[in-house]
């Protein structure tokens, strides 16, 4: 208490001056309309700037929640795309498929999209994996495709109750059936384990017309991915040393260095297709 009294005594003149200044300003703005208007204008401007900064701060801290809402909305819109359905031949159908149909009863849903958050991601190794915060309890199973905002990402290989492991396109064992958007020519995209910014497209014949910058999409014979999804663009055209095919360097559509939100895509007819193809391979003469 003694120190407070000494402090007040030491600065008593300054404190008295500030009080007189405040009193004079109050009297000036109270009894002078011009000064009062100027004071109100200045106070509104200061208040507006403070509110703007405060609003910006709130928006910054709500970015995560807004991103989650956007991811869920994107998944909902993707689920409405016509490419997620396939036509059923009603002329030979004995009984209706148990999968969900559209209102006309003519098509069956083939693909279901689910948003997921990336919680771990590697790009430095030769066999890279991504961890998602969505697992078995949220509908994720092995062999489901994973798609980012600007291109495909990989395939789910393992799941727990609430998490999933994805084999990234940046994995030596990754193989994706793709096609050139310009010609429809199909090939296989792999990764040689070297540059994480370049994938390799093999199986494109030298007779194919192509050029740098052409778009590469998932093909219609891909088991896991819906057809027509962005894979990347041709960055470099090379010729295989042995053979009649190109070796194309592909710049992936997805930026694997900044993945945060993805969609897990379920092919509801995948198991059925795998089973029937497995049966034909087991028959005599099957390949």
Rg (CA), the chain: 31
pLDDT score recorded for residue 106: 63
What kind and span of H or E run contains 247?
strand 245-252
Domain assignments of the chain as residue spans, ordered by start: 19-60, 66-268
- Residue 248 scores a pLDDT above 80: yes
Give the whole-angstrom CA distance, residue 27 versus residue 157: 76
Indicate the range of 166-170, 196-200, 213-217, 274-278 predicted with least confidence.
Answer: 274-278
What kind and span of H or E run contains 27?
helix 12-31
Task: Give Cβ neighbours of residue 136 (< 8 Å, ≥ 6 apart).
Answer: 159, 160, 161, 162
pLDDT score recorded for residue 93: 33
Count the helix, strand and coil residues of the chain and give each as a percent rounded to the nearest 5: 35, 30, 35
CATH topology of domain 66-268: Thrombin, subunit H (2.40.10)
Q: How many CB atoms lie within 10 A of CB 231?
A: 26
pLDDT score recorded for residue 5: 77
- Residue 98 scores a pLDDT above 60: no
Angstrom distances, CA of residue 250 to CA of 9, 189, 197, 247: 77, 8, 8, 10
**What mean pLDDT comes out for the span 192-206?**
94
pLDDT score recorded for residue 33: 67
**What mean pLDDT comes out for the span 187-194?**
95
pLDDT tens readout for residues 115-149:
999 999 999 999 999 999 999 998 999 999 999 99
Contact 12, 6 (CB under 8 A): no
**What mean pLDDT comes out for the span 223-228?**
92
What kind and span of H or E run contains 73?
helix 63-79
> Which residue's entry shows tokens 């070297």?
194
Pairing of strands 186-190, 261-267: unpaired
- Residue 94 scores a pLDDT above 50: no
Select, from the ranges 39-48, 60-69, 148-157, the one with the highest average predicted confidence (pLDDT): 148-157
Nearest by Cα to 75 from 154, 152, 162, 149:
149
What is the token pair recorded at 2? 């003694």
Angstrom distances, CA of residue 103 to CA of 33, 99, 119: 70, 13, 38
Give the whole-angstrom CA distance, residue 176 versus residue 188: 6
Task: Give Cβ neighbours of residue 137 (< 8 Å, ≥ 6 apart).
Answer: 161, 162
Give the whole-angstrom CA distance, residue 89 versus residue 95: 11
Higher local confidence (pLDDT), 39 or 79: 79
Contact 142, 158 (CB under 8 A): yes
pLDDT score recorded for residue 95: 34
Nearest by Cα to 169 from 138, 202, 107, 127:
127
| Phi and psi at residue 190, to the nearest 5° | -130, -175
**What mean pLDDT comes out for the span 231-239?**
94
Residues across the chain: 287
């Amino acid at each position: 208490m003694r120190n407070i009294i000494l402090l007040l005594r030491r600065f008593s003149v300054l404190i008295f001056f500030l009080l007189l200044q405040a009193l004079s300003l109050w009297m000036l703005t109270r009894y002078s309309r011009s000064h009062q208007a100027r004071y109100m204008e200045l106070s509104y401007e200061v208040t507006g700037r403070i509110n703007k900064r405060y609003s910006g701060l709130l928006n910054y801290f709500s970015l995560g929640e807004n991103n989650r809402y956007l991811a869920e909305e994107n998944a909902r819109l993707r689920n409405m795309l016509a490419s997620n359905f396939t036509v059923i031949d009603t002329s030979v159908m004995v009984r209706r498929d148990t999968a969900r149909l559209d209102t006309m009863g003519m098509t069956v849903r083939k693909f279901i999209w689910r948003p997921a958050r990336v919680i771990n991601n590697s790009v430095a190794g030769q066999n890279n994996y991504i961890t998602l915060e969505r697992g078995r309890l949220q509908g994720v199973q092995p062999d489901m495709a994973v798609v980012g905002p600007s291109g495909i990402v990989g395939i789910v290989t393992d799941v727990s109750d609430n998490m999933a492991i994805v084999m990234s396109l940046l994995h030596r064992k990754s193989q994706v059936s793709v096609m050139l958007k310009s010609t429809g020519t199909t090939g296989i995209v792999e990764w040689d384990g070297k540059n994480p910014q370049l994938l390799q497209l093999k199986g494109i014949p030298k007779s194919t017309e192509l050029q740098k910058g052409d778009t590469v999409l998932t093909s219609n014979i891909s088991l896991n991915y819906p057809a027509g999804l962005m894979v990347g663009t041709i960055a470099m055209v090379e010729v295989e040393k042995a053979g009649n095919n190109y070796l194309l360097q592909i710049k992936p559509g997805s930026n694997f260095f900044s993945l945060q939100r993805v969609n897990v895509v379920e092919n509801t007819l995948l198991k059925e297709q795998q089973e029937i193809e497995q049966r034909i391979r087991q028959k005599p003469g099957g390949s």
